[in-house]
A and B are shown apart, each in its own frame.
Chain A
Amino acid sequence: EPEVTQTPSHQVTQMGQEVILRCVPISNHLYFYWYRQILGQKVEFLVSFYNNEISEKSEIFDDQFSVERPDGSNFTLKIRSTKLEDSAMYFCASRGSGTYNEQFFGPGTRLTVL
């Protein structure tokens, strides 16, 4: 069964450093998402991406964040200058083209900012 994959599974970085989280969505999906889950809190929407542009973004997704689909398979989330409060589990998700289709989530990348 096709699945969303994410690398790395765990990233440790120093405050102020740039990180890139990588995702490979399901191959025939067209809609891509990033969510995050701070430890002990709910899963929060960050951004959605379709047709090579951002469809929607949350208040969390400020200028420090960016997304890119650099080729036909990868979807990345970049945090330019990490803060302590960026420490969280980051989930990538993808969805097929049907309006009613569910989002499929990857296993997540745990980001720890020291």
Chain B
Amino acid sequence: AQSVAQPEDQVNVAEGNPLTVKCTYSVSGNPYLFWYVQYPNRGLQFLLKYITGDNLVKGSYGFEAEFNKSQTSFHLKKPSALVSDSALYFCAVRAREGTDKLIFGTGTRLQVFP
């Protein structure tokens, strides 16, 4: 069965420091992987995706993510965190074949301190 794990409920980081939000997945075949961000009282905003090709994908607001097939991971990263990055981050997977529903992780709350 498809699943996504985000092992950290919350990540705290100081402004200007690099951040990493972890995600691992389980899916039959090759996956489509996504990161979404949710600000308070807002919907899910698309950040970036991995479909195929380069393992390092770049997205909105300076975020990037690294796909690692052997570790079945898709960690979200940013070289220098901003206070405004504080939000809830969701990793999601879609199986390549047969379905386009998204399976979401439980979310990780990122808190960036000034």
Contact = CB atoms under 8 A, between A and B. Distances in A.
Contacts of A25: none
A interface SS class: strand
Which of A6, A91, A102 has the most chain B CB atoms closer than 10 A to its own CB?
A102
Which bracket fits the contact residues of A?
20 to 34
B20 interface: no
Contacts of B36: 105
A33 interface: yes
A100 B31 CA distance: 11
Contact of B104 (A42, A100, A106): A42
A100 B30 CA distance: 13
Contact of B42 (A31, A45, A56, A107): A107
Given A102-B49, A104-B46, A107-B43, A43 B104 contact: yes
B102 A45 contact: yes
Interface string B36-74: 100001111110010100000000000000000000000
Interface of B: 32, 34, 36, 41-46, 49, 51, 90, 92, 99-107
